[in-house]
Amino acid sequence: MNSHLKLWLLILSWLWFDRVLRGKLHKKDCQHVIHTDVVMLQQFLLGGVATDQDNIFLLDEEMSSMRKGKEFLSHINDGIPKTPNAMELMVHTLQNHPKKHLTQDQFESLILSMVYSAHQAQVQGSKEKQEAWGGVLLQLANITVFELRGSFLVNT
């Protein structure tokens, strides 16, 4: 598996565990945080993923046919914006979020969007596209840091 994907898997796991351990999830959302789900997510990503222009696919056919695998792919392929402009719209929505903390689903989408943006920034052929995806990645990282620490990484 690509070393960049392994790195993002570690970052994703760390951010999710950090959030859970710090008690940043609302009490009703904590019921949904199950250790087996985290292990399953790691297995999906360690089993390998492939991307095309619009979707992400699990390389392990058995995992992709499981109910949890289908839910994971649906969440990524249907719930994550796929263009820099759509990502920026999501960033704007999250920055103007009226609640103090994001829900678990919003936080997961935020982290998965960061991973997708980092991947897109790496694979783009033109410098302009790389910079567009890199700018979105910075904005998403800024929101993530604010969610975890209460202060922004970079003031915009």
Q: What is the per-residue burial (b if ≥16 Cβ within 10 Å, else e) of 69-101?
A: beebbeebeeebbeebeebbebbeebeeeeeeb
- Which span out of 18-27, 55-64, 95-104 was modeled with the highest average pLDDT? 55-64
Mean pLDDT, range 87-104, rounded to an integer: 82
pLDDT, residue 99, reads: 62
Domain assignment of residue 25, yes or no: yes
Domain assignment of residue 154, yes or no: no
Domain assignment of residue 109, yes or no: yes
What range defines the domain where residue 88 resides?
A: 3-149
Residue 12 near residue 111, CB atoms below 8 Å: yes
Domain assignment of residue 124, yes or no: yes
Mean pLDDT, range 87-98, rounded to an integer: 85
Domain assignment of residue 15, yes or no: yes
Domain assignment of residue 156, yes or no: no
Measured distance CA(31)–CA(138) in Å, rounded: 31
Q: Tokens 């019921």 — which residue? A: 31
- Fill in the amino acid letter for 18: D
**Domains in the chain: how many in total?**
1
